[in-house]
Amino acid sequence: MRKTIAVLTAAGLMIPLAAHALNERVWLMVNGGGGTYAMSDLNAEIDAVNAANAGTGWSFQHVEQGRLLGGAMGFETGGHLNFGLGFDRLDANTKASDANGALEYRFGANIWRLFGEYALRPIGQSTFFVGGVIGIVQENGKAIESATGYAPAEYKLHGSDPSFEGHVGGNWWATPHLGITATIGYRYARVKEVRIGEDPSTPMIKSNGEPLSLDFSGPTARIGIKLAAKNISE
């Protein structure tokens, strides 16, 4: 998986070089948004834990949605195509507590995405587009265990698997170099085995003895501000 990340990073670093070679326009974007998560595996385990602790006040909330923050860089061709590399940080939290302490899971994840888009009008004009994404979802969170009178203990959560996305969206250019981009689509991003701790790490095991998975798949939306440079030849 580290090799895959290195390949995606190298692809991102090559974007300005490719744009220069093709005499096209480079752009940068910051974006925010959110989406819903499948999380059937996690929420079923939450139900089991809550049932086992019924009447104690110890209860976790389902994880069903979360915010995202991220950015992207890429280049536009002279025709209808747009290519780029993006990063999203997904938010996903749940917590249970009582008078004696608390246990909080911050199931935050990173998504690295390499994408291509086809616009209905030439790129650089306000238009609608369709796009596809391949990438990696990385669980990058932590579990925080706290008890009255003791310092909190933190345990790293990790794991990674491929991710995919399809979306539709639009660009609105306020000026030739400043625009707003919005997309809505569906993301597949499931970490099949979440591990906890470091050196060594161990799989998180559900009450039925099976490894826990985290499924960030679901409808997702982004809106961002795009800054475009002049054409390389300008």
- b/e per residue, 160-192, with b = 16+ CB within 10 A? bbebebebebbbebeeeeebbbbbebebbbbbe
Distances (CA, A) of 221 to 25, 91, 123, 128, 174: 25, 14, 21, 15, 21
pLDDT (0 to 100) of residue 210: 93
pLDDT digits (tens, 9 = 90+) for 144-173: 999 988 899 999 999 999 999 999 999 998
Q: Is the pLDDT of residue 217 over 70?
A: yes
* Confidence band, pLDDT 50/70/90 cuts, at residue 182: very high
Q: Is the pLDDT of residue 180 over 80?
A: yes
CATH fold of 2-55+67-228 reads Porin (2.40.160)
pLDDT digits (tens, 9 = 90+) for 68-117: 999 999 988 777 888 999 999 999 999 999 888 999 999 999 999 999 99
Per domain, the residue ranges of the chain are 2-55+67-228
pTM confidence score: 0.86
